[in-house]
Amino acid sequence: GQQVSKKPCKQTQAVTSYSNEGTQVTVEIHPKDTTPQIFKKLSFGKGSRRLPSLRGQDNKGFQRTEAPRPPGGKDLHAYPWDKSSLKSMPVDLQQFEKLDAYALKVNVKNSVEELVFALLKQARTDLEKVRAIWIWICHHIEYDVVGYHNKSQLSTKPIDVLQTGKSICEGYAGLFEQMCSIAGIQCMKLFGYSKGYGYKMGQTFTGDSDHAWNAVYLDGRWHLLDSTWGSGSVDDSFTKFTFRYNEFYFLTHPALFINNHFPDNSNWQLLKPTLTLKEFENNMLHNSNFYMLGLLTAQPETAVIQTVNGKASVSVDCRSATLFTFKLKGTDEHGLMTLKKHGMKLDIYPQKTGSHKLQIFAKPSKASEDVYNCVLEYVVECNSVDKAMRFPKDLHQPVGPSWFTERQGFLRPSHPEPIIHTNDGRCSVTFTLGKDISVLASLHSDNSSLTEEMRRRHIMQIHRGNQIELKIHLPHAGNFVLKIYAKKKSDPGNYDYIFNYLITCLNTEVKWPAFPQSYSKWVEDYEIVEPLSGLLPANRNVQFKLKMHGIAKVLVQAENTSPLIQNRGYWEGTCNTSGCSEVFVMVHENANHSFYSHVLKYEVETQ
């Protein structure tokens, strides 16, 4: 387990010995930076001969393989990743279910050979043999956090790892290598740098390698795996190990493995082209969650992002509908995240200069629990602050419509983008609604003195068939959040929050009054054509035009009461506002009754 000193070898040495049974064994030792690190050639004389096992017993049923060959052209995978598969060879995990369950239960501790022999009872192909060994190690060997800190108490010899049930990465890789060798599978223990525990974004790597893993030879090609990282993880203080199986590190695609494993010998990247150490250091660290959740790529590809005019942007592409959240210095206030059909886009506007940690979390849309996993980390370097992009605290992420809001029944939005800009303080948002949906909308602003009820009256709903229009008249300039809630009409329960928009208006002269107050008898598909303002001028004749159906009479009650006349589906007429402070619209639902219901209320300006 000792690192070999790094003195250059002048030339390849070859030692050849012949046994009296006609077996020729050649061991070649190469300098570290050439292709193979240690290279054994075993060639047997005629007829099959059993090799003595490490313990001197017969290796019944085991066939030693020829020596590991160095990686060559047919082992190499294209870089960057082609987004095809997370694995370097086709693997059907369902076909492993029985084998995995069997391997988990095997309980042999006295010798590595006996353990392998027990595991291979259920494994036929080389792939199955490797799988059984992998599953056993990942579930039975724990990371030795004590030994890591105190090397005197640590052994990485395979038999010691087996019997104590714990080790560090080199012990995992050594046990894996020996078990494969006994099973007749070519396997290499590889050393290199890793972006594992204690890694800091953007750090450089110097000195000795800090991690060990394996390469196995299956179906005529080399493949990579890391049983240490497959077994679980240590906590932040590096004092406690938790078994948490991770499928990602079994036969990982080399273009993904390079994300956090940089071998001492670049040939073992199994990549074409190979990456330099500098590229490895600069590349974004995508942890296994990133790929296991079906995420494909993230932009930018560097770990440190500089803001431009106070803004930094990140985007993620993924295979299927995924939900995202983010934290910038622990909060999601200073950003604007939008969900896309195949990913998300995030614009960040830090409100302080300096370095900010940005974390992005994701979960599958079908996941039942509300657990988001961290999939990306960046450092945002902010040189200048864009004060205009200070968002209201009520803004909820993600912003704007998406596949998620479509699923909730909000189809064909008139405004597909998250921000609605208005110059005159008015805007109108329309959707086609799914069946049986009742909508509630509210307006929020950080510097508004209006009550919630008054803010709600700055939005008017208009229904036409399955279309809904939300007319918005802003009370003043600034940034507003339009929150949209919904429930099934047939449901007696509360409204559920669905999504929100950001509405911005820079025109300081904007000062729209609220819409008139409506009462319960004002039916969803009634419509006000005029007057839209809930505040009427004093001492004026005001023209009324309302779209209502299924009623017998309509009256407008001011100082005097005036009837409206029905004309092609609209009720029209005028009313004089002198001498009153309020105006009511009343309907007579049945011509035979004398009872009127209030449907609308207007205020009249004071003189």
CATH of the domain at 173: 3.10.620.30
Torsion of CA 31, 32, 35, 36, to 10 degrees: 90
Point out the domain boundary residue: 325, 348, 382: 382
Point out the domain boundary residue: 481, 505, 529: 505
Q: What confidence tens digit (pLDDT) does each residue in 189-204 have? A: 999 999 998 898 888 9
| 285 Cβ contact partners less than 8 Å away, ≥ 6 residues apart | 195, 199, 201, 259, 260, 303, 377
Lowest mean pLDDT among 170-184, 258-272, 419-433, 559-573: 559-573
Report, as an integer, the average pLDDT of 492-497.
92
Measured CA to CA in angstroms, residue 546 lies from 193, 525, 583 at distances of 74, 11, 15
303 and 450 in a single domain? The answer is: no
| Element spanning 132, H or E | helix 126-140
Q: Let me know if residue 319 belongs to a domain.
A: yes
pLDDT of residue 65: 55
Lowest mean pLDDT among 54-68, 74-88, 281-295, 505-519: 54-68
Residue 594, pLDDT > 80, answer no
- H-assigned helices in 400-447: 403-407
Active centre residues (catalytic):
169, 211, 226
Domain of residue 438: give its range. 403-505
pTM assigned to the model: 0.78
d(CA 179, CA 227): 13
170 and 246 in a single domain? The answer is: yes
Mean pLDDT of all residues belonging to the chain? 88
d(CA 583, CA 554): 13
374 and 476 in a single domain? The answer is: no
pLDDT of residue 368: 78
523 and 499 in a single domain? The answer is: no
Q: Let me know if residue 574 belongs to a domain.
A: yes
Query: CA nearest 456: which of 470, 469, 467?
Result: 470
**Counted domains in the chain:** 4
212 and 186 in a single domain? The answer is: yes
d(CA 390, CA 312): 14
530 and 493 in a single domain? The answer is: no
Q: Let me know if residue 152 belongs to a domain.
A: yes
Report, as an integer, the average pLDDT of 354-373.
90
Q: What confidence tens digit (pLDDT) does each residue in 131-148 have? A: 999 999 999 999 999 999
Q: Confidence class of residue 569 from pLDDT cuts 50, 70 and 90?
A: confident
Measured CA to CA in angstroms, residue 489 lies from 187, 486, 558 at distances of 64, 9, 35
d(CA 87, CA 71): 18
pLDDT of residue 37: 42
Tokens 């300081």 found at: 508
Q: CA angle 206-208-211, nearest 5°?
A: 105
Residue 409, pLDDT > 50, answer yes
Q: Let me know if residue 327 belongs to a domain.
A: yes
d(CA 382, CA 379): 10
Tokens 């990306």 found at: 376
Q: Let me know if residue 599 belongs to a domain.
A: yes
- Per the CB < 8 A criterion, the answer to whether 338 and 402 are in contact is yes
**Computed over its alpha carbons, how large is the radius of gyration of the chain?**
36
CATH number at residue 353: 2.60.40.10
d(CA 437, CA 409): 7
Query: CA nearest 336: which of 430, 416, 417?
Result: 417
Terminal CA-CA length for the chain: 94
Can you tell me whether residue 523 is helix, strand or coil?
A: coil
339 and 241 in a single domain? The answer is: no
d(CA 194, CA 259): 9
> What b/e readout covers 429-463, taking b as 16+ CB neighbours within 10 angstroms?
bbbebeeebebbbbbbbeebeeeeeebbbbbbbbe
210 and 342 in a single domain? The answer is: no
d(CA 54, CA 175): 14
Q: Let me know if residue 376 belongs to a domain.
A: yes
pLDDT of residue 373: 92
355 and 335 in a single domain? The answer is: yes
134 and 240 in a single domain? The answer is: yes
Is the peptide bond between 531 and the residue preceding it cis, with omega within 30 degrees of 0? Answer: yes
128 and 255 in a single domain? The answer is: yes
pLDDT of residue 453: 85
d(CA 97, CA 315): 36
Q: Let me know if residue 56 belongs to a domain.
A: no
Q: How many CB atoms lie within 10 A of CB 240?
A: 11
103 and 223 in a single domain? The answer is: yes
Q: Let me know if residue 217 belongs to a domain.
A: yes
Give percent of the chain with pLDDT exceeding 70.
Answer: 89
